[in-house]
Structure 1
């Protein structure tokens, strides 16, 4: 791709970036049905088996923070290829693991590799397109990636029946190989040498200091991160709330889960249609307002019991539907605000989303019992903080970014 011009969105590149960004969700969701079998295989407790999921989330967050600045210093392509290669090697090691401790370590390394694909998919979209097109591309990437959480648990369950839990890692290895080959052949270098500072990689990491001094960065992290946290709360709580409290069958729970995945896909599709006309900032404002109102509605229904199950289902549809819209537009606006450190901006945003999501899932888990009250309070708080982030972004958006005199605003 020529460095001097930016192309219109390329459908094949979007599909590839979506597949790369799906490494993390697939390695998480495809693996969930296997947790009881892993515990039984190694003769350990369910908590010990669940530690393999915790180590993956930790590695994923660290990987995102690591790869952003490194790619700003050395280019997107080599860092992306190295990250996916690590994902492949670690997946093979997970497949061959001989103890729960070994699997915990290998899952951490697998997540380090997956983090490269997640953060660099955003950075590559930013490098290769103008602001409105970048937001469209990120929404399209999210549209492709969102298919993963819908299908992965079903695929993982079937693989468990076919060949046991190790088969899941065989499939993840093959998926990683397909991704690295496609990336080698099709993903261009979008960060030209003249913009890099490979001799000053520590300065790239120092960009985090500048980012965290900027109130707009905090606004976007709150806005996009708390919307993501509300979705994590839904994912963590609804298996107990729906199945155990409202007595929804596991088969029907899958339909409810799929309904919200359809909501995310619809939101991302609408974003691709309107971002060029309205702009990223306007859509952040609209989507965060919807998120806040819908979250407070869910909180009210959960705490009071009004409307029963269906009132919660309807409210959650709108809470979850705007998550992709906020993720795409908040990330795009941040990366264009810091054009010389787009990788670091994408990384700090993605890692914050993941961290806030994990924190919300822990918070809802602290509520006793299986009633929807804990889910309602947690989602309500997330919705209010999402809107607080929106207020910060709108208030400070005209202020120049620290150290980025030539920053571009979307």
Structure 2
């Protein structure tokens, strides 16, 4: 890509990347109001229905680990198009599923495809913009991406009334088709051929070993990953806690969910305004502190019952609102610390987020009943570990990459 194109954010590319990256969140959020209905339709426990969410996150995580190094070796565009095609075909299979076990498997495949847009939107933003702009651009992408999840539970609730949970997957199939056409027509190749070595794909996977020897990488993975796990605990648990414990209707559940998406958009907007002034390190430090304090607050409210539903809603607004800030700044810092393996760096960070999200979803699903107790315990633990990540980031940020003498690029 010409150097001049790296000087100014490309608004059209940002809008398109944001829409493509929404594949994963939409596939998660649009069917959340349907989880109790899926459990009833297949006559399985709520934990079995929630397993479709866990399998999605596992597939998303594995897909991201595959796509990062492969795109470093073969280019961003073909890998992105292949992932979106898999997402669309798997959405059809979800629509036609006739057992909970089948749905769990095809949700995994759907996520395997959706992971391409998530990891490659970060890598493409990194390729096309200077370091000073990348975190800002990723926040702008996240704002666009958040529009879909903002509306998704509301749409999902209405689709549930219209024709049941299968109609949700019909809508996701149509969205996948639109994304495939848009990506084919509008996403350029941002990783030039001279930087690719198809024979070096295994060395690209080997970059994971170098990344995992770096304490700063672990700090960012804990900061961004455990904050995301807290959010995903909320995503997994609240359809049952809100709808079945607090008796919120599936349609009104979308309004509660939308409030937190607005919090994500607000957090990302503030990041675009302040990251240039304060830098990625300070934004990570502040956002991880807010996440930890808010998570512990939610845990106390869930365990004690103080304030009822509204105290939980209040605390979750801050837990969820800073996730995008952490994702943008942690990922940017890692990609510029490892410029030759930006795809692998984005992938290991994104996969860790999704893996920890899937693990948290599985943990909260093991608690019996639909009370807020399990959600509170899990979110509180995530908050403590987020702060451990903050300590590592602050401690190791100015240290060189292990095995190298140069200082990391400042962001």
TM-score, reference length from structure 1:
0.90
Q: Which residue of 2 aligns with 1:149?
A: 149
Does 1:408 pair with 2:395? no
Larger deviation, residues 91-100 vs 395-404: 91-100
Q: CA deviation at 1:250?
A: 4.6
How many angstroms apart in 2 are the aligned matches of 1:372 and 1:52? 21
Q: CA deviation at 1:254?
A: 3.3
Q: CA deviation at 1:370?
A: 4.0
Q: Which residue of 2 aligns with 1:75?
A: 75
Please give the per-residue CA displacement for 1:277-314, whole angstroms capped at 9, x wherever unaligned: 11111100111111122222222333333344333322
Q: CA deviation at 1:260?
A: 1.4
Residues 3 and 192, structure 1, Cα contact 8 Å, conserved in 2? no
Residues 64 and 348, structure 1, Cα contact 8 Å, conserved in 2? yes
Residues 88 and 177, structure 1, Cα contact 8 Å, conserved in 2? yes
5+ long unaligned stretches in structure 1: none
How many angstroms apart in 2 are the aligned matches of 1:160 and 1:313? 24
Q: Please show how residues 7-18 of structure 1 align to structure 2 within 5 Å.
A: 7-18=7-18
Larger deviation, residues 205-214 vs 361-370: 361-370
Residues 220 and 390, structure 1, Cα contact 8 Å, conserved in 2? yes
Q: Which residue of 1 aligns with 2:44?
A: 45
Please give the per-residue CA displacement for 1:75-131, whole angstroms capped at 9, x wherever unaligned: 111111121122223333444556665554433322211111111001111111122
Q: Give the secondary-structure state (helix, strand or coil) at the position aligned to 2:190.
A: coil
Does 1:110 pair with 2:117? no
RMSD: 2.6
Query: Using a 3 Å threshold, how does the CA distance of structure 1 residues 96 and 295 change in structure 2: closer, same or farther?
Result: closer
Q: Which residue of 2 aligns with 1:347?
A: 347
Q: Give the secondary-structure state (helix, strand or coil) at the position aligned to 2:58.
A: helix
Residues 301 and 312, structure 2, Cα contact 8 Å, conserved in 1? yes
Residues 338 and 404, structure 1, Cα contact 8 Å, conserved in 2? no
Q: Please show how residues 11-410 of structure 1 align to structure 2 within 5 Å.
A: 11-34=11-34, 45=44, 51-96=51-96, 103-402=103-402, 408-410=409-411
Query: Using a 3 Å threshold, how does the CA distance of structure 1 residues 402 and 3 change in structure 2: closer, same or farther?
Result: farther
Q: Give the secondary-structure state (helix, strand or coil) at the position aligned to 1:106.
A: helix
Q: Give the secondary-structure state (helix, strand or coil) at the position aligned to 2:400.
A: coil
How many angstroms apart in 2 are the aligned matches of 1:348 and 1:109? 19
Larger deviation, residues 262-271 vs 232-241: 232-241
Residues 223 and 390, structure 2, Cα contact 8 Å, conserved in 1? yes
Larger deviation, residues 107-116 vs 61-70: 107-116
Larger deviation, residues 345-354 vs 400-409: 400-409
Larger deviation, residues 391-400 vs 156-165: 156-165
How many angstroms apart in 2 are the aligned matches of 1:244 and 1:189? 47
Please give the per-residue CA displacement for 1:187-212, whole angstroms capped at 9, x wherever unaligned: 11111122222111100001111111
Q: Give the secondary-structure state (helix, strand or coil) at the position aligned to 1:232.
A: helix
How many angstroms apart in 2 are the aligned matches of 1:249 and 1:156? 13
Larger deviation, residues 200-209 vs 101-110: 101-110
Q: Give the secondary-structure state (helix, strand or coil) at the position aligned to 1:367.
A: coil
Residues 331 and 349, structure 2, Cα contact 8 Å, conserved in 1? yes
Q: CA deviation at 1:244?
A: 4.4
Query: Using a 3 Å threshold, how does the CA distance of structure 1 residues 129 and 256 change in structure 2: closer, same or farther?
Result: same
Residues 337 and 404, structure 1, Cα contact 8 Å, conserved in 2? no
Larger deviation, residues 346-355 vs 102-111: 102-111
Larger deviation, residues 329-338 vs 162-171: 162-171
Residues 35 and 239, structure 2, Cα contact 8 Å, conserved in 1? no
TM-score, reference length from structure 2:
0.90
Query: Using a 3 Å threshold, how does the CA distance of structure 1 residues 148 and 405 change in structure 2: closer, same or farther?
Result: farther
How many angstroms apart in 2 are the aligned matches of 1:154 and 1:313? 17
Q: CA deviation at 1:274?
A: 0.8
Q: Give the secondary-structure state (helix, strand or coil) at the position aligned to 2:6.
A: coil
Q: Give the secondary-structure state (helix, strand or coil) at the position aligned to 1:213.
A: coil
How many angstroms apart in 1 are the aligned matches of 2:155 and 2:292? 34
Please give the per-residue CA displacement for 1:316-361, whole angstroms capped at 9, x wherever unaligned: 2211111111111111111111111111111111111111112222
Query: Using a 3 Å threshold, how does the CA distance of structure 1 residues 315 and 48 change in structure 2: closer, same or farther?
Result: closer
